[in-house]
Structure 1
Amino acid sequence: MDAHRRPLIDRTPALLAEGYAWLPNRMRDSNGSVLRTRLLGRPALAVRGPEAVRFFYDESHVRRHGAVPAPVLDTLFGQGAVHTLDGDAHRTRKELFLPLLEADPVARLTDHVTTAWDEAVRSWSERDRVVLFDEAAVVLTRGVRDWAGLPPRSFDAEPLALDLVAMVDGFATPGPRHLRARRARARQETRMARLVEEVGSGDLVAPADSVLERVARHRDPAEGPLDSRTAAVELLNVLRPTVAVSWFVAFAAHALHRWPAHRERLRGGDAEFATAFAHEVRRFYPFAPFLGGRTVTGLTWHGESVPAGGILLLDVYGQNHDEELWGDPYAFRPERLLDRPPGRDELIPQGGGDPAAGHRCPGERVTVGLLEALAVRLARLEYTVPEQDLRIPLRRIPTRPRSGFAVTGDALPDRASAHPSTTRQATTRTGPVG
């Protein structure tokens, strides 16, 4: 029987078992940059590479409406979110976010977050042990809460951080983590919807041109003002991905522990190196395994086909570790991104294409800006890394160092005049990614 006519076995169980390695392993076995498979009961085509990124983001090929599984909507994105829209509806809704993600607003958000970080660091010396993932989540929540215009008295940072982390942590797995994510989203959507209603009724005045004020007054041309629940969803779609940067902060700490030579250039204030370091953290460490959409029509890519109504997958983790693109991709080497800044559709940890017109995450600039600032601050801290489990399991989506990266010691901000050699090095070996 012709290989293209053989029934495809559904690989969803293998995805759940193998995590990030599932698609790259299958792509490697196929000896190419395309793979026919079956996922979630549908025929699927997986692609990789800059040319494939452009193919994937062509709206005549793929639609998002109906493509995101309900469990992901009920945890990560929310029902009716911008991620589920196509065409003009998507572009119009995205205009809600784009002005907030220009250079000046991002700089203000970074200022809020770094102020919260510096305040938190001053208290760490009083504690026996600090878990950086958990602390970063609270710091990021406090910063984005204040920047977005949420009233601090009504939204305490620690419980809000727990819920925002839960939404990300449980979107891709069955079981207790998923149930926590669902409960967290339901709880926060209710609270955010009530907040939007208070702004709409005049009971609460939102700061001018804040995220809260923009969401409360946004109008979709076809639908009119957002209902309070959809507005709550989109408000969370600013808060949640900002707090998700805590994953990258933990990865940055992991990288500085394994390759401490990078610490000196970060401590010295080399801005170009800080950017390259942030990009290399996003490239090297696993976050999104792949992206998917529903095929509008039958598609063929490099000789492999998928029918209309099937699934097109973009192999994000595999592309970020593609030897042809990166050369020695499993080496952590920020210098590679100084030598040759990546093209738009080469480095895709948060998707590819044009963020203004397409589905690439418009918050990518936020992620990079925050990671640059916090990586420098991590490099300037004095701390010891005690014995702990620093392995990063690829079967877990989203993954992170198992211990969350705990530190002990003074954890005080390094003074500008201090020599880099004053930073105490770790007392334990770091386990490999895997």
Structure 2
Amino acid sequence: MSMQESNVPHEKGLDNSIKLLTEGYHYIPNRCRRFDSDIFTTHLLGQKVVCISGSEAAKVFYNEEIFRRKGAAPIRVQKTLFGQNGVQTMDNAEHKHRKQLFMSLMTAEHLDELRTITTEQWQYAIDKWVRKNRIIFFKETQEIMCRIACQWAGVPLWAKELKQRANDFGSMIDAFGAVGPRFQKGKRARKRAEKWIRTMIKQVRSGQVIADEHTALYAMSWRRNLNGKLMSRQMAAVELINILRPIVAIARYVTFGALALHLHPETRRKLQSNENDYSQMFVQEVRRFYPFGPFLGARVRKRFTWRNHDFKEGTLVLLDIYGPNHSSAIWESPNEFNPERFRDFQGSPFNFIPQGGGDYMGHRCAGEWVTVEVMKTSLNFLTNHVDYKVPRQNAKFSMIRMPTIPKSRFIIKNVRWN
């Protein structure tokens, strides 16, 4: 061991993967507190891993000269969440070329259309909810998000296949931190979804399905690689799913938003008046307070030193996502739900990273704007147009389950238009 490495804390043990699975979101923050350090080394999944946390760590992590994404995402995650060889696993010119495709869909016009679609789909859903006594909010919202995603992307979706498609997207997301049955379910869901979208890409290219030119379906179907050749149908399917799946994932945030409204009833009135764009503050606080992604991974591209640690080429590095969102070094009273903290918050690409950090043409999540707009539109709709009751239930959520969700999936009843 070199002198540079000797000052960096190391977690003992031949492999600490079981500890990761039993501590979940708290695995990295717990050790940062224990070691009083924003960096430590450990062994996970049979390899040495460096774990880092905090805004300074994020600045380093998103330096593309010293980090690469290729080879960082485990195959098991690619086979469920990302899809194999998707944009999240790319680097350099190839990544920028593919990322431009995603960013081209984030124009003001596209986001306006997304807000309109979101409102329409909530109206459609509530018309059905008022005829039911009891609603499992997360399950129903996942289906709403699936309809929103497909309509916005221009993907035809028959009513009879909605449950299957929504469940498949949900299973891919649910498999992120899973082993055993949840992982296998996510893998099967990924195969079904890719087959469905591959067929659709084929039909667009053959003229059997006409895709509007401004939609993601059209963009993915006709996108060419740097060599000038059309993306393969498989790769086009993977990337179109990388538009659809993250929108379905917003169901978790909207569910946590509904839970926050229940636990903090004073926020409902503030959302209704929306003074000083309170909905923006509320949504950002939901994204900060409630768990979503626990960490992100990258591999060292070229050797460098940070915090007296020698980062060797090829080493896997995990950036803590959950911990900084609950750090007293960044937030006052971080374990309290307080949307007003965002009134004058001077955020940076590295100190508020619930879906990752850096700039948008780098590896920051291209769907972050989509997440915020869909959440704002959904929660504004629920507070301004709908009344409902929340029965007694177990709405607690596990910090070990990744990704987490209220145990009851949040139940509401007696839904009425107001």
Return the alpha-carbon distance in structure 1 between the equivalents of residues 276 and 133 of structure 2.
32
Return the alpha-carbon distance in structure 1 between the equivalents of residues 351 and 417 of structure 2.
36
- One-letter code aligned to 2:371: T
Output the TM-score relative to the length of structure 1.
Answer: 0.91
Specify the SS of the correspondent of 1:241.
helix
Specify the SS of the correspondent of 2:246.
helix
Return the alpha-carbon distance in structure 1 between the equivalents of residues 22 and 227 of structure 2.
43
1:211 counterpart (210, 216, 222): 216
Q: C-alpha displacement at 1:313, in angstroms?
A: 1.4
Q: C-alpha displacement at 1:154, in angstroms?
A: 8.2
Return the alpha-carbon distance in structure 2 between the equivalents of residues 139 and 6 of structure 1.
45
Q: C-alpha displacement at 1:400, in angstroms?
A: 0.8
Residue 288 of structure 2: aligned partner: 283
**Preserved contact between residue 45 and residue 305 of structure 1 (Cα < 8 Å):** no
Residue 383 of structure 2: aligned partner: 379
- One-letter code aligned to 1:413: W
Relative to structure 2, which stretch is displaced further, 226-235 or 146-155?
146-155
Residue 171 of structure 1: aligned partner: 176
Specify the SS of the correspondent of 2:310.
strand
Relative to structure 2, which stretch is displaced further, 112-121 or 152-161?
152-161
2:114 counterpart (109, 114, 131): 109
Return the alpha-carbon distance in structure 2 between the equivalents of residues 270 and 104 of structure 1.
25
Post-superposition Cα deviations, 1:311-354, rounded to whole Å, max 9, x if no partner, equal 11111101111111012110000000013242222110111000
**Preserved contact between residue 351 and residue 361 of structure 1 (Cα < 8 Å):** yes
Residue 342 of structure 1: aligned partner: 347
Residue 305 of structure 1: aligned partner: 310
Return the alpha-carbon distance in structure 2 between the equivalents of residues 37 and 224 of structure 1.
43
Relative to structure 2, which stretch is displaced further, 113-122 or 329-338?
113-122
Return the alpha-carbon distance in structure 1 between the equivalents of residues 228 and 57 of structure 2.
34
Residue 22 of structure 1: aligned partner: 27
Post-superposition Cα deviations, 1:124-171, rounded to whole Å, max 9, x if no partner, equal 121111011111111111112111111233883222111111100012
1:18-97 matched pairs, under 5 angstroms: 18-97=23-102
Return the alpha-carbon distance in structure 1 between the equivalents of residues 99 and 52 of structure 2.
26
**Preserved contact between residue 8 and residue 43 of structure 1 (Cα < 8 Å):** no
Residue 162 of structure 2: aligned partner: 157
Identity of aligned residues (%): 37
Output the TM-score relative to the length of structure 2.
Answer: 0.95
The answer as to 2:369 corresponding to 1:365 is: yes
**Preserved contact between residue 36 and residue 305 of structure 1 (Cα < 8 Å):** no
- One-letter code aligned to 2:113: R
**Preserved contact between residue 323 and residue 329 of structure 1 (Cα < 8 Å):** yes
Residue 352 of structure 1: aligned partner: 357
Q: Name structure 1 gaps, 5 residues minimum.
A: 415-434
Residue 127 of structure 1: aligned partner: 132
Relative to structure 2, which stretch is displaced further, 33-42 or 270-279?
33-42
Specify the SS of the correspondent of 1:44.
strand
User: Please, what is the CA RMSD of the aligned residues?
Assistant: 1.7
Specify the SS of the correspondent of 1:332.
coil
Residue 331 of structure 2: aligned partner: 326
1:134-283 matched pairs, under 5 angstroms: 134-153=139-158, 156-222=161-227, 224-270=229-275, 272-283=277-288
- One-letter code aligned to 1:15: L
Count of equivalent residues: 412
Change (3 A) 1:271 1:227: farther
Return the alpha-carbon distance in structure 2 between the equivalents of residues 396 and 377 of structure 1.
29
Specify the SS of the correspondent of 2:197.
helix
Specify the SS of the correspondent of 2:40.
strand
Specify the SS of the correspondent of 1:396.
coil
Post-superposition Cα deviations, 1:255-294, rounded to whole Å, max 9, x if no partner, equal 1111111110111233611001100000000000011111
**Preserved contact between residue 248 and residue 281 of structure 1 (Cα < 8 Å):** yes
Residue 403 of structure 2: aligned partner: 398
Return the alpha-carbon distance in structure 2 between the equivalents of residues 154 and 257 of structure 1.
31
Specify the SS of the correspondent of 2:343.
helix
**Preserved contact between residue 64 and residue 86 of structure 1 (Cα < 8 Å):** yes
Return the alpha-carbon distance in structure 1 between the equivalents of residues 74 and 401 of structure 2.
19
Q: C-alpha displacement at 1:13, in angstroms?
A: 1.3
Q: C-alpha displacement at 1:41, in angstroms?
A: 2.1
- One-letter code aligned to 2:218: E
Relative to structure 2, which stretch is displaced further, 283-292 or 60-69?
60-69
Q: C-alpha displacement at 1:95, in angstroms?
A: 1.3
Q: C-alpha displacement at 1:40, in angstroms?
A: 2.2
Return the alpha-carbon distance in structure 1 between the equivalents of residues 35 and 304 of structure 2.
19
Residue 430 of structure 1: aligned partner: none
Return the alpha-carbon distance in structure 1 between the equivalents of residues 164 and 273 of structure 2.
35
Specify the SS of the correspondent of 1:219.
coil
- One-letter code aligned to 1:266: L
Q: C-alpha displacement at 1:98, in angstroms?
A: 0.6
Relative to structure 2, which stretch is displaced further, 36-45 or 103-112?
36-45
1:415-430 matched pairs, under 5 angstroms: none
Post-superposition Cα deviations, 1:362-417, rounded to whole Å, max 9, x if no partner, equal 110000011111111222321111121101100000001111100011x2233xxx
